[in-house]
Chain A
Amino acid sequence: MQEKCVTLTIDGQTVTVPEGTSVLDAARKINIQIPTLCYLKGVNAIGACRMCLVDVGARSLMASCVLPAAQGMTVKTNTPEVREARRINLQLILSNHERTCLTCVRSRNCELQALAKDLGVEEIVYEGYSVHRDIDDSSPSIIRDPNKCVLCRRCIAACQNIQQVSVIGATNRGFDTIVESPFSMPLGDAPCINCGQCIQACPVGALREKDDTDKVWEALADPELTVVVQTAPSIRVALGEEFGMPIGTRVTGKMVAALRRLGFDRVFDTDFAADLTILEEGTELIERMKSGGKLPIITSCSPGWVKFCEHFYPDFLENLSTCKSPQQMMGAVIKHYWAHKNGVDPKKVCVVSVMPCTAKKFECGRDELAAGGVADVDIAITTRELAAMIKEAGIGFTALADEPFDDVLGDSTGAGVIFGATGGVTEAALRTVYEILTGKTLENVEFTAVRGLSGVKEATVRIGDEDVSVAVAHGTGNARKVLDAIRRGEKSYHMVEIMACPGGCVTGGGQPIVPASVRETLDPRALRARAIYDEDESMARRKSHENPSVKKLYEEFLGQPGGHRSHELLHTHYQKRPQYIKDAE
């Protein structure tokens, strides 16, 4: 099909773009960077902040982010009038902004700060109406500071349109407008799933994760404690960005080296537990298929998704795999296997996990995730928090020589690492389930149908004489589509993979924040996923059941996948949670 195109002139240059392209995007195409604030590609285009004004010869200046390019249009992006109008808008936004850059989490990665610099704001001209509002730190994962909010509504678009959780919105009007939950409820009391996609969308320091680095420093300084760290698959393909490396750079070896420099006693790989998850969950799937158990089995690695299910789709709780997430399995294995093997008292072991995820902070505090009464994981920090620690410790990250993970629980396969990208868990499971069910060697391990960024992916794989059908959804908005279709009886699958975050863990709520201007041309979901698959390809073993240390764990300790010990340590249960009103149906 031929796309209809339009040709227009921007600052004297002619450009042809498909019909429907915004003037903002058309300008980017010829390397003209119009400033933006409320616009975020693929998330929010509402023309609210008016930073992106341009002159198209109309009576007033127009917001280019929501203005479709038209045939024959003449656009001026850099006239004195345009510059002045943008500057006044920016000045107004700055007038009631709590300007504390020096101590702000987003300093140096703040779109407002960058705008002030780029637009040459040299003094604050207006002193606006401002009241200090309370910071909401009721959530275990997300902190909201309304004093830094510029009301761009990008977080609202992420929460309502992309994630379709809709626990935050704009309320009141005029100067009193604020982004909050219904009835000014603290976020911790609302059915927020802690996914952190609102943080990812926020241009400024109004949203951040709850900072747990002090707890980690404290543990590291405690001579009584053995402090063990685990890193999720996605950290290694994103951490480098915090040190100026291009998006999608693999820094596995440097990351391990940096963790050792920070003083962790052991550096383990959550990928090990991902392999373990595949054995447990693969076994669970096969059992359910054989015994007529509840299908589809739905993955349970993503704590944002699990909480979403508990609040909004409790009728699917029985479908959830009973497997704990890899973070929690790893903690349980460290405390109940590794500690005993190494003669350490599990109560004196502190497990820190570095996660791409803000929901992991909530997950590790869930009461039921404490095998034998000790919390599986003690502290969960995000990629951003780890980067901050490395900087604070003065470790020259980019110059570090690569180091390997520590033995045994540092072992992993390519199947473990692909957990980081949407479709990865499914692909890893298929690699193992295929070989278990058929007893044959799987030659081509790459199931490309479940890779990539379409919101919902489906595939049917012939395994022995069974057609195994799978679906993959990333982002809870997409999860709704799959679950609604199953509810209506339109679809049925053997297995469904759901990750709360669009793109999967690589773009989780705890990952480095990529500014809107960069997201305009680069997609971190694709670039980091590419790195994940490269890492998979580089591994000697690419099937979870071939992980020698996992095999050893079963031989020495667990017995069989799905066996008694596994159930004690590696499996869990879920609970229906209310939304806003306890007894509303």
Chain B
Amino acid sequence: MGKKLDPKLFEALEQVIVRYKDHKGPLMPVMQAAQDLFGYLPIEVQDYIARGLDIPLVKVYGVATFYSQFKLEPNGENTISVCLGTACYVRGAQKVLDRLKEELGIEEGKTTPDGLFTLSGTRCLGCCGLAPVIMINDDVYGRLKPDDIPGILDKYRRARSA
């Protein structure tokens, strides 16, 4: 938050609201479209939806926090996906996730305050042979031990300061 949101995106959102306004149950499709446009649902966007559909903001926010598909924060520069599929789970994915939480100081689904990392759990990434696996953006890291985590994170931190 704090970053200026693109007015063009609001214009596009307006179109969506106009299209759905008189439909039955317009809220979910409008929120989904808004998330596709902005990448997440900050208060400015939810407030815009609330006004546009003439419903209280707290109802929009209630829906946004009820369904895990909606995101309240923008993704960080790097998205870390921790595979929580069965194979990874059995081979210690939880410990890897816990270590990531500890190193980053955030919970699953959240973004670090410096905007560098978003941490999310995900279903099977399809490389069970490498379990436990994480993906950072498009890079796959397999056969991980929790102690590998700090080194991997440092790589991305260095990339930013460079």
Contacts and interface: CB of A to CB of B under 8 A. Distances in A.
A181 interface: yes
Contact of B59 (A169, A172, A581, A584): A169
B65 A168 contact: no
A172 B56 CA distance: 16
Given A172-B66, A173-B65, A584-B51, A181 B44 contact: no
> Which of B46, B47, B61, B66 has most chain A Cβ within 10 Å?
B61
A580 interface: yes
B57 interface: yes
Nearest to B46: A182
B18 interface: no
B109 to A, nearest CB: 12
Contacts of A538: none
The B interface is mostly helix, strand or loop, or mixed, namely: helix
B58 interface: yes
B59 A166 contact: yes
Nearest to B67: A173
A166 B58 contact: yes
Given A182-B43, A183-B43, A580 B66 contact: no
B56 A166 contact: yes
Nearest to B64: A171
Nearest to A181: B58
B66 A182 contact: no
A171 B61 contact: yes
Contact of A584 (B48, B60, B65, B72): B48
Contacts of A393: none
B65 A172 contact: yes
A167 B47 contact: no
Contacts of B43: 182-183, 580-581
A453 B142 CA distance: 70
Contacts of A173: 65-66
A171 B47 contact: no
A167 B58 contact: yes
Contact of B61 (A169, A581, A584): A169
A168 B66 CA distance: 15
B62 A584 contact: no
A170 interface: yes
A170 B56 contact: no
A173 B56 CA distance: 19
A580 B60 CA distance: 13
Interface string A176-199: 000001110000000000000000
Interface string A155-178: 000001000001111111100000
B56 A169 contact: yes
Nearest to A166: B56
Contacts of B72: 183
Contacts of A167: 56, 58
Interface in B83-98: none
Contact of B62 (A169, A579, A580, A581): A169
Interface in B30-66: 43-44, 46-48, 51, 56-62, 65-66
Interface residues of A, number: 16
Count class of interface residues, chain B: 10 to 19
B48 A168 contact: no
Chain A interface SS verdict (over half): loop
B110 to A, nearest CB: 14
A531 B44 CA distance: 48
Nearest to B51: A584
Contacts of B56: 160, 166-167, 169
A581 B62 CA distance: 18
B48 A171 contact: no
Nearest to B59: A169
Contacts of A170: 62
Contacts of B65: 171-173
Nearest to A182: B61
Contacts of B61: 169, 171, 182-183
Contacts of A171: 58, 61-62, 65-66
A183 B60 CA distance: 10
A580 B57 CA distance: 9
Contacts of A160: 56, 58-59
Given A171-B65, A172-B65, A173-B65, A584 B58 contact: no
A170 B58 CA distance: 8
Given A173-B66, A584-B51, A168 B58 contact: yes
Nearest to B43: A183
A356 B60 CA distance: 33
A581 B47 contact: yes
Contacts of B66: 171-173
B51 A182 contact: no
A133 to B, nearest CB: 15
A390 B47 CA distance: 46
Contacts of B58: 160, 166-169, 171, 181-182
Nearest to A191: B57
Contacts of A581: 43-44, 47
A376 B87 CA distance: 70
A39 B44 CA distance: 35
Nearest to B1: A183
Greatest chain A CB density within 10 A among B48, B58, B65 is at: B58
A166 B61 CA distance: 12
A173 B66 CA distance: 5
Interface string A569-585: 00000000001110010
A168 B62 CA distance: 10
A286 B60 CA distance: 45
A274 B60 CA distance: 42
A271 to B, nearest CB: 37
A579 B48 CA distance: 12
A167 B62 CA distance: 11
A171 B63 CA distance: 7
Contacts of A183: 43, 61, 72
A187 B61 CA distance: 15
Contacts of A580: 43, 47, 57
Contacts of A181: 58
Top-10 shortest CB links A-B: A166-B56, A169-B58, A182-B61, A171-B65, A182-B57, A172-B65, A169-B62, A182-B58, A173-B66, A581-B47
13 contacts: A160-B56, A167-B56, A167-B58, A169-B58, A170-B62, A171-B58, A171-B62, A173-B65, A183-B72, A580-B57, A581-B43, A581-B44, A584-B51
Given A171-B58, A182-B43, A580-B47, 8 more contacts: A160-B59, A166-B56, A167-B58, A169-B59, A171-B61, A172-B65, A172-B66, A584-B51
Interface of B: 43-44, 46-48, 51, 56-62, 65-66, 72
Interface of A: 160, 166-173, 181-183, 579-581, 584
